[in-house]
Structure 1
Amino acid sequence: MSFRSPYPDVDIPDVSLFDYLFAGLDEDVAARPALIDGTTGAVTRYGELRAQILALAGGLAAQGFVRGQVAALLCPNIPAYVTVFHGILRAGGVVTTINSLYTVREIVEQLADSRAVYLFTLSPFLPQADAAALEVGLPAENVVVIDGGPEVAPDRLSLRALLSGATPPPTVDVDAEHDLAVLPYSSGTTGKAKGVMLTHRNLVANLAQGAPVIGVEPDDRILAVLPFFHIYGMNVLMNGGLLHRAAVITMPRFDLAEFLRVISEHRASYVYIAPPIAVALAKHPMVDDHDLSSVRLIFSGAAPLDAELGRAVARRLGCLVRQGYGMSEMSPVSHCIPAFRDDIPLGTVGLTLPNMECRLVDPTTGQEIDVPETGTSAPGELWCAGPNVMIGYLGDHQATIDTLDLDGYLHTGDVATVSAEGYVTIVDRVKELIKYKGYQVPPAELEALLLTHPGIADAAVVGVRDEDGEEVPKAFVVRQAGVTDDDLSAQDVQAFVAKRVAPHKKVRRVQFVDAIPKSSSGKILRRELRTTTSG
């Protein structure tokens, strides 16, 4: 038996994301702060932001950028990120957001797969951006320096130059239901990263669905330390803040001292976090040195938040703590504890969002699990359908049909229960994806990389818990015949991987084994590896 939100469906306008967020700016809204640079304190107002977006759309059109083309964005959270992101969309383009910690190899893979024709980045990222652009055949003149100018990046196309042109924004007739808006990359339920095709309607729908329950208000100041390249930071923090006419405070990276300073000095009231930040807020003595009285609500996502940890944060800061659940493939939110509900257990991910329908399905039998009249259901894989669900994975039909069924249900790969009241709790994971501090780590990618080492015959990677309860990647490695402990140590394996991947993908544990357990079809038996206690 399927279940829906207890809240009524909301209206989803048939408009582009730009029109949804910026079409109705009156004078009062135009004068409100839209973006605050957490580092410098510089303020960009809504009217200024809209003008910058329109100017960039015109500048891109003058360069020959047309509807449907893809532009990549490699940049940490700064106010200009918002201008570039929405300028590309207003020009009729598609944005593929790249993790700012990616190596050249990882940038190359995303540029090539997305077929990006422009790459926007900051000058400190030019070495890896230029190297990746060269490898995929992207002309140097199409690598745009966001902080560029004659004094920073002479002879390079800069954001400043694109903004200063006199070309008006193009007339673009966006088909909200079918035109792509963004291509974030996700490993989905398993395997290597894939481009998640999200349309304008997908993003608009999820913003509309979240509006009645997320609880952001116009006078809020939202701290945006979670990266905009991730769908959570992109559509919940950045776009969600803009929708509600709040002020979004940008931070380029997480540093606890700076995080606390920015909250205190800029009076942040609504703070989005991932669970590792909750640990610091609950336990670190530095918290007591800062005035955090402005914080009224902390919302946790990207990984499960332990209920007691959440309560400890709420007690220490004297604020509300809520959590939600979602995936890149759902734009991203499907469930959350509403801001105004104190009766929903914090260990759950709350209620289904409006306009969504969910099922729980036994992953072994395929039988649908009923919602109980009292108590809590048996566990089953969570399936979700709604207007926020992606249209598929870019160029990967098999992965699409493996994840999205003919009835429109996204098979999340997560095992959940649902209570009679409709409270959903994530209890396990069918999928193999590792979540390290909220970041996705696909085991298949690390396994493929390990197998390129001449001293490794076979390898498998699973998620295990470290001393702090954090899920970390652990590699099980079979040495090549004749390779000894002196030839290949655990430290050698870790260093080999660390040189080739972003920091969050590093292998944190290594165990050498004689063989990798596999099924008759060759599938790695990860459950057997997880029961291995050594190392």
Structure 2
Amino acid sequence: MARSTYPDVEIPAQSVYELLFGDLDDADLDRIALVDGSTGDETTYRQLIAQVDALAGALAARGLGVGDTVGILCPNLPEFATVFHGVLRAGGTATTINSLYTVGEIASQLKSADAHWLFTVSPLLPQAAEAALAVGIADDHLVVIDGAEGHPSLRDLLFDRAAPPDVHFDPATHLAVLPFSSGTTGHPKGVMLTHQNLVANVLQSEQVIPLGRDDRVLAVLPFFHIYGLSVLLDFALLKRASLVTMPKFELAEFLRVTSEHVCTWLFIAPPIAVALAKHPLVDDYDLTGVDVIFSGAAPLDGALAQAVAERIGCTVCQGYGMTEASPVTHAIPVARADIDRSSIGLALPNTECRVIDPETGEDVAVPESGPSAPGELLVRGPQVMTGYLADEASTAQALDAEGWLHTGDIATVDAEGVYVIVDRLKELIKYKGYQVAPAVLEAVLLTHPEVVDAAVIGIDDEDGQEVPKAFVVRRADADLDEEVVMAYVAERVAGHEKVRMVEFIEVIPKSSSGKILRKDLRSKVGRHAAVG
């Protein structure tokens, strides 16, 4: 076991609202908190707090109680901050929903989280309304932020002018947010993150992310993902920086917003790094204001990091974490130019780590020089979840009796405490930072009448980014080609979950217990088709 090389930081017994907004002085109140990257509209900290308090009051007046769950299906807009923190201020629990989800996926998350409210925006209303109807959310509890006939709008709630409620709860046990994650394998599960989890992680992150009041942070990574929610939204607010929102990634718009708003920090996922390193469009924009690019959500190659740093003229770092850890456990400190950019850096304060042999469970020895032998990375700290919602079996698999979170990632560590992720024990595919569970895609494939068996793995595309590939056993008389298979899956899953390659084989390799032998599939090389 190894503790962080940083000294512990104090984790106060505060709610997220108290931490972020409790000590704002007059100078901070009039600073810009949020900028709509599309329109340029600005929201000060004073305005944001007033909106958060007003929404909390309106929700409480309309029956939201402490511990009630509210779904948020919304892209990155300044209003997201008002809704999320208004829910928390009222004592509610937010379950943030992927904006790309299908009706069935939205309904499944709402039902699992027992949500009785849903906030969305008008472009997503058709699927939101159908999902809400399926789980029994009434029209007056389906709030359309920008307004739609038959539903309350955010403006309607704010103009209730109700005082925020006087709520009391224990930050150590009260759930702040229920994001859904596939964990190490399988179908999405509700990750129970308390106020203390979120408070701890933003305070831990202060030690390695030197964001300041004068920084402008580009927020293109989705707030529904814990990376965007905690590392961008909450951390930027904690540091009194300005957050520039983008509802979706388009390279030209990304570059325009970065340039025109003089963003100093870019939080990205590796596919954006590929574009920054390779795309000719980058040369058409002035990115000299960028000081730091920080990558997360999936592994960043060291050579790619170097290429981006040289082209943009900035520092490039990466961090590591999981939804189950709120999410950050490791990061490369911006000031440490000596640390290999392909590593995940050092453990955050208050974080303990182990690297264990997956077969024996014994700790891997750390040599005096060079990296250790690889082993599964385990972490423990105040940012680690309390468990999966209503799923004791999955919780027991992820969190052992001593509180260690089994990440499912294979890592090495050296004597300086620098960790490198070298492989994945888990089966999850990370497509552009999104989690894709093979089991979900396999279940869809098996519903096709001409598919006898199927398995899905992640493989690297030409840019070194992981994509889902399906191995399919088809009926002997089937008239089934790769494009048909991919189209079939695409109609039934979110866009990021689509199968991108297909290979037909005679039999899916399996163990005697019936477990798919994915390592055997990874060793296969055959014809395939790919789509973007």
User: Shorter-chain TM-score category?
Assistant: over 0.9
Counterpart CA distance in 2 for 1:26 and 1:221 is 20
* Distance in 1 (alpha carbons) for counterparts of 2:370 and 2:161: 63
Q: Which amino acid aligns with 2:405?
A: L
Partner of 1:515: 507
Match of 2:472 in 1: 477
**RMSD of equivalent CA atoms:** 0.9
* Identical aligned residues as a percent: 61
Q: 1:496 aligns with which of 488, 491, 503?
A: 488
Q: Distance in 1 between matches of 2:118 and 2:477?
A: 43
1:295, 1:15 → 2: CA distance? 33
Counterpart among 373, 376, 384 of residue 378 in structure 1: 373
Q: Which whole-Å CA distance do the structure 2 matches of 1:4 and 1:365 have between them?
A: 22
Shift of 1:483: 3.4
User: Shift of residue 139 of structure 1?
Assistant: 1.4
Output the CA distance in 2 between the equivalents of 1:313 and 1:512.
Answer: 38
So what's the TM-score if we normalise by structure 1? 0.97
Query: Could you tell me how far apart the structure 1 residues matched to 2:72 and 2:497 are?
Result: 20
Contact 1:71 1:118 in 2 (8 A): yes
The worse-fitting range, judged by mean Cα deviation, of 121-130 and 136-145 is 136-145
The structural deviation recorded for 1:252 is 0.3
CA offsets per residue over residues 153-179 of structure 1, 9 Å max, x none? 123111111111132111111210000
Counterpart CA distance in 1 for 2:155 and 2:279 is 41
**Correspondence list, 1:183-202, <5 A:** 183-202=178-197
Match of 2:457 in 1: 462
Instruction: Tell me how far apart the structure 1 counterparts of residues 504 and 287 of structure 2 sit (CA, whole Å).
Output: 47
Determine helix, strand or coil for the equivalent of 1:432. Answer: coil
Q: What's the CA shift for 1:34?
A: 0.2
Q: CA shift at 1:371, angstroms?
A: 2.1
Displacement after TM superposition at 1:131 (Å): 0.7
Residues in 1 aligned to 2:137 and 2:514: alpha-carbon distance in whole angstroms:
38
Structure 1 residues not aligned, in runs of 5+: none
CA contact (8 A) 1:3 1:371 kept: no
**1:318-367: per-residue Cα shift (whole Å, max 9, x none)?**
11111110000000000001111111111111000000100001112222
2:359 paired with 1:367: no
Alignment of structure 1 residues 72-91 onto 2, 5 Å: 72-91=71-90
Amino acid at match of 1:107: I
- In 1, the alpha carbon distance for the partners of 2:16 and 2:303 equals 38
Aligned equivalents of 2:139, 2:74: Cα separation in 1: 17
Report whether the alignment pairs 1:266 with 2:261.
yes
Report the Cα distance in structure 2 between the residues aligned to 1:203 and 1:259, rounded to whole angstroms.
Answer: 28
Deviation at 1:466, TM superposition (A): 1.6
Q: Any stretches of 5+ residues in structure 2 without a counterpart?
A: 528-532
Tell me the SS of whatever aligns to 1:15.
coil
Matches of 1:167 and 1:483, distance apart in 2: 66
What whole-Å deviation, never above 9, does each CA across 1:15-58 have from its counterpart, x for those lacking one? 00011000111111000000000000000000100000000000
SS in 1 for 2:426: coil
User: How many angstroms does 1:135 deviate by?
Assistant: 1.2
- Find the aligned partners of 1:166 and 1:41 in 2 and give their Cα distance: 27
Q: Which amino acid aligns with 2:477?
A: V
Q: 1:528 — aligned with what?
A: 520
Amino acid at match of 2:524: T
CA-to-partner distance for each residue in 1:399-424, whole Å, 9 max, x for gaps? 00001001110000000000111100
Q: Aligned residue for 2:283?
A: 288
Q: Deviations over 1:209-230 (max 9, x none)?
A: 0111111111100000000000
1:336-347 equivalence runs, <5 A: 336-347=331-342
Secondary structure of 2:258's partner? helix
TM-score, normalised with respect to structure 2: 0.98
Match of residue 129 from structure 2? 130
How many angstroms does 1:513 deviate by? 1.8
For the residue of structure 1 that corresponds to 2:206, the secondary structure is helix
Correspondence for 2:52 = 53
Distance in 1 between residues matched to 2:360 and 2:37, nearest whole Å: 51
3-state secondary structure, aligned to 2:152: coil
